[in-house]
Amino acid sequence: MITLDDGVRLHCQQLGSGYRIVLIPNGFHLLQELKFLAASATLVFYDVRNRGRSDAVTEPAKLAGGILQDVQDLDAVRRHFGRDRVDLIGHSYIGLLAALYAMEYPERAGRAVLLSPIQPDPAKQYPPHLMYADATMTEVTSRIAVMRKEPPAGNPEEICRNFWRVLRLIYVTNPEDAERIDWGRCDLENERRFGTYWMGHLWPSIQKLRLGDENFAKAMNPVLVVHGTKDRSAPYGGARDWALRLPNARLVTVPGAGHAPWIESPEIVFNSIAMFLEGAWPQAAKEVQVVD
């Protein structure tokens, strides 16, 4: 456990012992897939504030910062390990966290991988060819709306598992792969009540972000964006935005992949990440000139 300045403790797990350190916030669902990187680096997987096995936080003041508080917590993790600079891997909204850290602490951010990141501007609407909304998304959204309107009675852990059995369908392009999505961690109370935390603090803090050219310009570190073209959760157009607006970023496009692109194309995703963290741009990484 890492104790922060305000007393909140974050749960972490370390793999490897190399001097180069890679922080993977909220990345325990990727531990098995990414552990091969520990052959040449120290990997630190940790649960962000009020998530997973980190402390449950009940004081509103300690949650008010939302994702901006997560940025400060990330720097506290860096200090805990005594490194001047850290590499980062962030999936989904944690990809946004990694980018924000690079903007806030450019001298502390090393190479950063944004894996299926949510878009820089949450209010932006992309044309159909840059986002993916199909019948599966419509069906899942409808089923979840019913579940929230009429919450089932019973064991909280089983309710959580039933919720994830529905939600996981949107993260893959082949329904047969849905069972490979095991992100719910429904045995943990923090995760069972994540929806309340997300809607009450995290998502509002993301919606308030107003990132301008001056913000993007601060992040001079190399950034690799990896994104599937059929991501229902985070539009592919957002990935193109990140690669266009960050000064030193390139995009690996994974054709036909969803929000977990390593399921559809593991070799492209993991080989690209490994090469990038070793200091080179993968061949599949391209500069982006326009979003459209």
pLDDT in tens, 13-70: 999 998 899 999 999 999 999 999 999 999 999 999 999 999 999 999 999 999 999 9
Q: Distance between CA atoms of 247 and 177, rounded to whole angstroms?
A: 36
The model's pTM is: 0.95
In the chain, residues under CATH classification 3.40.50.1820 are: 2-130+203-286
- CB of 8 closer than 8 Å to CB of 2: no
CATH fold of the domain at 2-130+203-286: Rossmann fold (3.40.50)
pLDDT confidence of 75, banded at 50, 70, 90?
Answer: very high
Residue 143: Cβ-neighbour burial (10 angstroms; 0-12, 13-18, 19+): middle
Q: Are strands 109-115 and 249-254 parallel, antiparallel or unpaired?
A: unpaired
pLDDT digit string, tens, across residues 209-250: 999 999 999 999 999 999 999 999 999 999 999 999 999 999
User: Closest Cα to residue 117, out of 17, 218, 252, 222?
Assistant: 252
pLDDT digit string, tens, across residues 116-154: 999 999 999 999 999 999 999 999 999 999 888 876 778
User: Closest Cα to residue 30, out of 223, 251, 226, 189?
Assistant: 226
Q: Distance between CA atoms of 1 and 273, rounded to whole angstroms?
A: 27
Average pLDDT of the chain to the nearest whole number: 96
pLDDT digit string, tens, across residues 242-272: 999 999 999 999 999 999 999 999 999 999 9
When pLDDT is averaged across residues 194-211 and rounded to a whole number, the result is 95
- CB of 253 closer than 8 Å to CB of 286: yes
When pLDDT is averaged across residues 190-196 and rounded to a whole number, the result is 94
Q: Distance between CA atoms of 99 and 116, rounded to whole angstroms?
A: 12
Which residues sit opposite 9 in a β-bridge?
3
Which residues sit opposite 46 in a β-bridge?
12, 25
